[in-house]
Structure 1
Amino acid sequence: MKQKRGIIITGIILAAITAGSFTIWMMPQTTQTKFVVTDAAENLDGIIEQQKTISDTMSEEYSRMLEGQITPDNYIGIAQISSSQVNSFIISIVQSDVPEQWQESYSAYMDSLRAYNSYLQETIIIANKLKENSAADITEDKAKAESILGDASASIDASYKTRP
């Protein structure tokens, strides 16, 4: 009888622990993570330098794809990774708790990152067209991609102009 009672008590304790853990795990997280930035200029400059490295690399890879030096599939893989990195920069800016005088500059640079991501998506569309037909007419697509890249550059300029 004592052994049966011990097993029942142990089962109840395990069920309570499991239910408590599950309840805590299922609770929605209502707090948004914010990173306090002590030097807003240095933080933004760091993001800009990292994005410039990605942009330079993607420009080279895009040219190589158009020249037939790499396959559209290879380019698509590289562009998707770069897009993911740009998304992480956007998240970093959103989660940065910067002084009010820097918010406009950060917002403009975030617009630039979003435009650059749109540019990457447009180049992926071009790569897919070339994958399907290497002689496809991509003139309009290239013009659209360049236009989006121009928008990204304009947002970068706006970010620099709104720095305190």
Structure 2
Amino acid sequence: MTKSKRKDIFIEGAIPASLIAEQIDKHSSKTDIGAHQIFLGQVRADEVDGKAVEAIEYSAHKELVEGTMQQIREDLFAKYTLSCMHVYHSLGRVKAGQICLFVFVSSAHRGPCTEACQELVERIKAELPIWGKELFAGEDYQWKVNK
């Protein structure tokens, strides 16, 4: 069981596909794992009042995120039989169409893996002090509400 992995979950800018591929590849030698569940959050070009979101600028209270994320990690490892868990979230500007959240959970079996990943994503959205400013053309913006 790999409970205490990286505490800093942040990546500056969009999460590159190469990081996602690298994480998947690193697990190919772990023969006790039978299931992986991946969630990728992508910035949408939502239309708000006739204007399209061009990007989201993410900011966070890093110290609070670290402590809260560690508690979420411990809770999920206690609740589910997991092999490992990885979370990466963007900071700074991420354009529409780019990946801003990468969650990767592994387990011996698909059931706990799938359930843990779903709960992890919901808790990240609900509990972590991460904010997104939706940016429109020009200087126009609005604060994003997590749904």
User: What is the TM-score normalised by the length of structure 1?
Assistant: 0.27
Larger radius of gyration: 1
> Per residue, is there more strand in 1 or in 2?
2
User: What is the TM-score normalised by the length of structure 2?
Assistant: 0.29
